[in-house]
Amino acid sequence: MKSLLPTSVQIPKVLTIAGSDSGGGAGLQADLKVITALGGFGMSVITAITAQNTLGVTRIQDIDLDVVEAQIDAVLLDIGVDIVKIGMLASPEIVKTVAKSLRKHGVKRIVLDPVLRATSGASLGGDDTAQAMISELFPITTLITPNLDEASLLLGREIRGSNDFKLAAEELLDMGPQAVLIKGGHLDSTHTQITDYLMWRTIEDGLEVVQTKEFKHYRVNTVNTHGTGCSLASAIATYLADGHDLSHAVAKAIAYVEAGLEAGRFLSIGEGPGPLWHMHDFYPTTLLDEKDKH
């Protein structure tokens, strides 16, 4: 009897190129949790190893350039990808190696989270790394997702408020990426509403058109925010790989992270700011129910 089962099942294949977070809340560990939670197949290229927990980063060890390149080759020559998400690239040399490898393999869709500083304040890159990202990666990137600190570093001036988002996005878009999402979560924490600003290029009737959209959502009252930037970029990448258009992918990713922050409010992991709860769709009430019993 002929089997009715399909001979192959395709799911979104997402490669994260990022640093390792030994505490498990951010970096490629968070990326892989998000990709899996949203139904994708996650793969990883480690660019740096960090000694890190909820209190901060104590040490960073870059991975040798030839090893970074070999990891990319190994994944792309066999499994292939639908999209690449890039996080921490701690040096200009690593940026150039990653860009060269992605060009070599003809990768078409890239989400770049320009991680340059940890929430704790530890430097995860510098001006030279930022300039290398602009020259090497921005021209081949689908979307960049800087927070206010990262956007300010990339532009060389401080972004003070949401009124600055439009001009900042225009300037960042002129640097080469197809789209820019400026995240407003680092604005004054007394504000109960967060505004994220998306600007992207499209082609209509043979002409380039620039479109914009604001995403307004409430600020979750929690200290457990470790890994939110990594998680948002990975969620956007996974939704894009699953066939959603850019605006819809961003909206769904924001909703996913917001739900993870809400569910993670009651997590007690470490002595500092803990992570959001990436698996809220699978274990949505366990933590809340346990709290309500006491």
Sheet with 179-182, strands from edge to edge, namely: 56-62, 41-53, 13-21, 83-86, 110-112, 143-144, 179-182, 193-204, 207-218
pLDDT digits (tens, 9 = 90+) for 114-138: 988 655 555 566 789 999 999 999 9
pLDDT digits (tens, 9 = 90+) for 82-121: 999 999 998 999 999 999 999 999 999 999 999 886 555 5
183 as an active site residue: the answer is yes
227 as an active site residue: the answer is yes
Catalytic residue among 119, 141, 145, 225: 225
Catalytic residue among 227, 260, 264, 274: 227
184 as an active site residue: the answer is no
228 as an active site residue: the answer is yes
> What are the residue ranges in the chain where pLDDT is below 50?
1, 285, 287-288, 291-294
Sequence length of the chain is: 294
119 as an active site residue: the answer is no
Rounded CA-CA distance 281/123 in Å is 33
Residue 117, H or E segment? none
Domain architecture of the chain: domains with CATH: 13-292 (3.40.1190.20)
| pTM of structure | 0.92
